[in-house]
Structure 1
Amino acid sequence: MQPYCSSPVIQSSPFSSSSHFPGDGSKQPQTTKWSPPSDEELQGRPVLVAGAGNIGRRIALVWASHSRPVIIYDISSDALHSATEYITDNLAAYCTTRGTHPGHVRTTSDLRTATSSASGLAEANAKAPWLAIECLPESLPLKTSVLALLERSLPTDCLLASNSSSLTTAEMAAQGDLNHPERLLNTHYFIPPRNRMVELMSSGATARSAFPFLATQMRRVGLAPVIVPHNIQSRGFVFNRIWAACKRETLAVLAEGVAKPGDVDALFRDFFHAEKGPCERMDEIGLDTVARVEQHNLERVPGLRSEAALAWLKLHYVAEGKLGEKSGDGLFTEAERAELRERHHEERYKDVEETSDA
């Protein structure tokens, strides 16, 4: 049984501007077979989350909520500081609501520290990660380059997962920087820990045994995986294909002046009995992320006609720094969102901050 602590342990490794990435350029010999590690081999091995942003820190919280060690890596000291505050404020309270115990969480800006064994934890027998989850902005070159660095730095049994909402790992593998697509897959989280669903999709070459193995590990920490069939590549996976159409038409309605965000969301909530409408959801995700995903879709999906709505979003919101929750104002002002949160407080799907009264 893994040791646990009664409150979250946050350790931060010193910032090192000269050692963010390994510089030896070495590559592992290519392999064609991946086998899942046993429960004994997983003991004490952390989950690595690359990207300390709004979603990365939430993914880290879920994996740490069942006595599991977690490492959060980011080159931004500000992002790491914010992630540390989030974990400190919410992990212990979240574990209390679920009857679990928090694991060790630490942050680092040094990739060598994040990927090597015995890399700074108090325990002398600290081990290298068994799962690395990339949670970076929606940029194919950025995601591919970081995943390639992780591939070279981590053990050969470590799975490499991308949390991309629009880019497939088949696209990433096709860039030529990754040598082990059998270890690579999409794991698309939504907004954990409130949303437990995670979509899993193959890179086209992912080891079939990776899916039941990872699904089992996810269920053990309270997640609910949905697996896209191994031979299918779906841009946007499952839910985001449906959500993309809703989001695109919502932006068009707003850009054309047909309705205001509050009216759109009120109609959506009333008809679907939904907790939140599409405008509040986009503020939650971040309007810069929404714009990047829509730009990506425009470039890769024939027949879309959303240029005008995207230009409106970029001009009136992204360019002015109105990004939603991450900046304050967005489609809703910060004050309007506070009123909406108050109304949601007693509804079924509470966020971790609401649950813990943080």
Structure 2
Amino acid sequence: MANLDTISRTSVVGSGYMGGGIAHVLALAGYPVALADVDAATAEKSRDRLITQAAQYESLGLFPADAAAAIADKLSAAPSIEHAVSDADYITEAVPEIVDVKLETLRRISGSARPEAIIGTNTSAIPIDELAKEVHEPSRFLGVHWMNPATFIPGVELIASTYTDAETVDVAELFVRSLGKITARVADAPGFVANRLQFALYKEALAIVEEGTATPEQVDAVVSNTFGFRLALFGPFAIGDMAGLDVYKGAYETLEQAFGERFAVPEVLTTLVEQGRLGVKSGRGLLDIAESDKDALLAYRDNAYGRLSALRADLGPAPGL
């Protein structure tokens, strides 16, 4: 099994927007990256695109000086998937989210990679167990779910299958963190955490549009300027604890009257409120925030919201929206 000290060469199979972003991160961290796609011409075209894009990011101050040159030096276009992975210590599979395509690609990758190489699939929602069954030596295989655009989004989900060796997860986590990313280990369930939540929100947003409560433009304006603004800095449980779980319980009761069972008060929320665990104002909620941290947390929140507001004002509105 590879360890962090022995990871020196990497490969990315799938050179589109997602795989390209991962390749950028790996190359900027100093790792040689062999890029592969359906054929050599596609991989070479993607390499050219990624170098050009790096130069654009560099000119905007989003990448460090000389980033494009560094990426050009570290990034190579492989003639085939098999060639790309043959001497890699860490391999990312980032082909389209089609089960049969992923299975065939993983068969090719795992059949040509060295036995100790770690293989991470960037699937957005397919259970890792389902993909692992087609991987040679699946103990070195896991889900490593980057978010789009991988170049800039900090979070990465790590998902072990029932076949994954614990050491594989440990090494993968250390490696991804060494790239400057923030990891979270989650269980192997369809959609994992990020996309299960993201698509639940999207479905409810569509329902709001379909029933005529708001237009798509109005929904986006509300989300991006209200709770979505907060989500840039805090997760739902931190936000709930700062707002007050008794407030949430009352809101659910109103929503349930209007929309039925899908908005019923969650049992755990009722229990917490009955126990007096209302969040920051009572000392405990779903999170256990120490009393000594309360004032500092709220001061951080206000400072962060103020600075985010200033950043948004500086950026101005998104073109076309």
Q: TM-score range by the shorter chain?
A: 0.5 to 0.7
Partner of 1:205: 163
The residue aligned with 1:18 is: none
Tell me how far apart the structure 1 counterparts of residues 152 and 314 of structure 2 sit (CA, whole Å). 6
Greater per-residue helix proportion: 2
Would the aligned equivalents of 2:110 and 2:135 in 1 still touch at CA under 8 Å?
A: yes
- Shift of the alpha carbon at 1:219? 1.6
Paired position in structure 1 for 2:273: none
> Where does residue 33 of structure 2 map in the other structure?
70
Query: What letter is aligned with 2:53?
Result: D
Q: Check the 8 A contact 1:163/1:188 in 2, yes or no.
A: yes
Q: CA deviation at 1:255?
A: 4.9
- Give the AA of the match of 1:186: G
Q: Residue 173 of structure 1 corresponds to which residue in structure 2?
A: 132
Q: Tell me, yes or no, if the aligned pair for 2:117 and 2:140 is still in contact at 8 Å.
A: yes
- SS of 1:166's partner is coil
The structural deviation recorded for 1:82 is 4.3
AA aligned to 1:133 is: T
Equivalent residue number for residue 75 of structure 2: 105
Correspondence 1:260 to 2:215: yes
Match of 2:206 among 226, 242, 251: 251
How far residue 111 of structure 1 moved from its aligned partner, in angstroms, is: 2.1
- State the partner residue of 2:196: 241
Deviation at 1:238, TM superposition (A): 1.6
2:34/2:78 contact within 8 Å kept = yes
Structure 2 SS opposite 1:201: strand
Higher gyration radius (CA): 2
Name the amino acid aligned to 2:7. L
| Contact 1:53 1:83 (8 Å CA) reproduced | no
Mapping 1:3-82, distance limit 5 Å: 35-37=1-3, 39=5, 41-43=6-8, 45=9, 47-75=10-38, 77-78=41-42, 80-82=44-46
| 1:158-169 pair list within 5 angstroms | 158-169=117-128
> Which AA in structure 2 matches 1:107?
A
With the length of structure 1 as denominator, give the TM-score of the two structures: 0.58
Q: Distance in 1 between matches of 2:216 and 2:161?
A: 37
> 1:154 aligned to 113, 117, 135, which one?
113
8 Å contact kept, 1:275–1:349: no
Shift of 1:90: 1.4
Corresponding residue of 1:186: 143
Over 3 Å counting, the alpha-carbon distance change for 1:143 and 1:348 in structure 2 is farther
* 5+ long unaligned stretches in structure 2: 233-261, 263-308
Instruction: State whether structure 2 residue 54 is matched by structure 1 residue 84.
Output: no
Larger RCO, structure (CA 8 Å, separation 6 or more): 1
TM-score, structure 2 normalization: 0.64
C-alpha distance in structure 2 between counterparts of 1:188 and 1:143, whole Å: 14
Matched, 1:225 2:190: no
Kindly provide the amino acid, as one letter, of the partner of residue 94 in structure 2.
Answer: C
Residues 290-309 of structure 1: CA deviation (Å, up to 9, x unaligned): xxxxxxxxxxxxxx9xxxxx
Q: Distance in 2 between matches of 1:267 and 1:137?
A: 32
- Is the Cα–Cα contact under 8 Å of residues 57 and 87 in structure 1 kept in the other structure? no
Three-state SS of the structure 1 residue aligned to 2:77 is strand
Q: 1:53 is aligned with what amino acid? A: G
2:305 alignment counterpart: none
Distance 2:108 2:171 in 1: 24
Count of residue correspondences = 233
Given that residues 23 and 33 in structure 2 are in contact (C-alpha distance below 8 angstroms), is that contact kept between their aligned partners in structure 1? yes
CA offset digits 1:54-99 (Å, max 9, x no partner): 1110111011111111122111545752453133321672541799
| Amino-acid identity (%) | 25
Aligned in 2, Cα 1:256/1:53: closer, same or farther, shift over 3 Å?
A: farther
